[in-house]
Amino acid sequence: MTGSRIHITQGERGVSGDPEVVISTILGSCVSCCLWDPVAGVGGMNHMLLTVSSGERGICNLAGINAMELLINDILKLGGQRHRLKAKAFGGARMVSGLSDIGKTNSSFTLEFLKAEGIECEGHSLGGETARHVMFWPATGRVMQKIRKDAPPEIRPEIPVAQAAGNDLELF
């Protein structure tokens, strides 16, 4: 593989408009949202550990909103337009049975945020019980995902796989 790789971890994000750049991360219960503007050829990906918290004052989703808005603002700074953004979302696995399902909460937040903001989610691979390695080319919207071969059906991609052109998801 040629080009540069930006690896992000919990709480981080990466953006680029360079067609040779790939952004990668490894997800368990965390969720990554891949956003790009197909006209401007710019995009980015975040890695959200906790999108929602709860306490004495109830449920607060400011951490997730902040992570999404920071990613969107970084894309806009590179020339993207909010109304043209497309999305794909990954992660949200239930990594430890018997504990709260933070992966499901993270997944729900991400899809609800995209819907509320009018950002088309072209596809997602959320849930299940296994980790994912995600690689995203922000200039084109191309995504590759690697999951365990024995992954249950509920986390197999809902995005078309192995299409010759377009912004498809490829397994590697």
Q: Is a pLDDT exceeding 70 seen at residue 40?
A: yes
The Cα 48–Cα 20 span in angstroms is: 24
pLDDT digits (tens, 9 = 90+) for 55-105: 555 555 568 888 999 999 999 999 999 999 999 999 999 877 766 788 898
33 in catalytic set: no
DSSP string, 76-133: HHTT--GGG-EEEEEE----STTS--HHHHHHHHHHHHHHHHT-EEEEEEE-SSS-EE
What does the pLDDT average to over 163-168? 42
The pLDDT, as a whole number, for residue 155 is 41
Cβ–Cβ under 8 Å, residues 103 and 51: no
pLDDT digits (tens, 9 = 90+) for 115-148: 999 999 999 999 988 899 999 999 999 999 998 5
Place of tokens 């918290």: 53
pLDDT digits (tens, 9 = 90+) for 91-117: 999 877 766 788 898 999 999 999 999
Q: Which residue has the higher pLDDT, 44 or 152?
A: 44
Cβ–Cβ under 8 Å, residues 10 and 30: yes
What domains can you pick out in the chain, each with its CATH number?
Answer: 5-171 (3.30.1330.200)
Q: Is a pLDDT exceeding 90 seen at residue 24?
A: yes
